[in-house]
A and B are shown apart, each in its own frame.
Chain A
Amino acid sequence: MVVAFAGGLLIGLAAVLLMLAVGRIAGIAGIVGGLAGAGPGGRGWRLAFVAGLIAGPFAAALCGAPLPEITVKASAPVVVVAGLLVGFGSRLGNGCTSGHGVCGLARQSPRSLAATLTFMAVGIAVVFVTRHVSGE
């Protein structure tokens, strides 16, 4: 759990750096979703952030952390449906785990608290149904 806490500290530092330098919330859905509508001035920093995000695990590996192993057990159709829901839902609800769950809570935003409690509760319910009710 020490590693989890340390990872969380890095995520917090990232959010602080982005606000200090660019004045923006480090919400991944907002940064990526804003790419389409952004003017020339709004596109550069967004692309740079996304490039850094993809390179991040390799940067951590250079500093001695192991490259992470990832497992996706869901089938391809479920992955597609989930991706559509996450993409659409994060735009409709103006935020995702990072935007509402980290930056919004840090700003003591009631909207972000409501959104975070909602997606946590629904996520927990979905996992309960898929793992313990429908019997996998």
Chain B
Amino acid sequence: MRVVAALGAGLLFGAGLSLSGMIDPAVVLAFLDVAAIAEGGWNPALAFVMAAAVLITTVGYALIFRRRAPLFAPGFALPGSRSINCRLIAGAGMFGLGWGLVGYCPGPAIAGLGLGLGQTWLFVGAMLAGMVLHRVLIERPGIQPSSGSSRA
């Protein structure tokens, strides 16, 4: 059941990215281009997408967390770290740099793999390499704390 539910969640997520236009890096870049507000060419779509998604998730999570456990797992895997540290900000900064250069972040890039654009595959390949690089350089296999820890 976990697999079926996760497949369903992935389908909804990919359909949402597609319907909202966020699967197209050009739409994302048109949002980040705030200088276009003055020129009249700004595309605020991403703000609407995030607002809707956060709204639904906020209400849904509040209801779900009244339960003691999810339907098909023994417990909720929630990020425990609470400190805003250098690692968090450096990582988010690097992420923003790459995001602003191309307009791709992990969700839309993977959801776009089936649409037949070579650059999407190139981006996802490089992104996976970046994740592996992080694993090798920072996490160091062997002294990694509980591999089951989830990430926000």
Contact = CB atoms under 8 A, between A and B. Distances in A.
A27 B45 CA distance: 20
A22 B1 CA distance: 9
A79 B144 CA distance: 30
Contact of B45 (A4, A70, A114): A4
A14 B131 contact: no
Nearest to A72: B119
Contact count band on B: 35 or more
Interface in A66-104: 67-74, 76, 78-104
A106 B133 contact: no
A105 to B, nearest CB: 5
Interface in B88-113: 88-107, 109-113
A127 to B, nearest CB: 4
Contact of B134 (A14, A22, A92): A92
Question: Which bucket holds chain A's interface residue count?
Answer: 35 or more
A72 to B, nearest CB: 4
The residue among A22, A72, A80, A107 with the most chain B CB atoms within 10 A of its own CB is A72
A80 B16 CA distance: 26
A102 B53 contact: yes
A5 B49 contact: yes
Contacts of B132: 36, 87
Interface in A1-57: 1, 3-30, 32-34, 36-39, 42, 44-46, 48-57
A63 to B, nearest CB: 8
Nearest to A120: B96
Interface of A: 1, 3-30, 32-34, 36-39, 42, 44-46, 48-61, 63, 65, 67-74, 76, 78-107, 109-112, 114-116, 118-128, 130-132
Given A10-B15, A48-B6, A106-B58, 15 more contacts: A8-B20, A12-B55, A15-B61, A20-B60, A32-B106, A36-B132, A53-B107, A54-B110, A68-B115, A70-B24, A87-B131, A89-B92, A92-B90, A110-B82, A110-B84
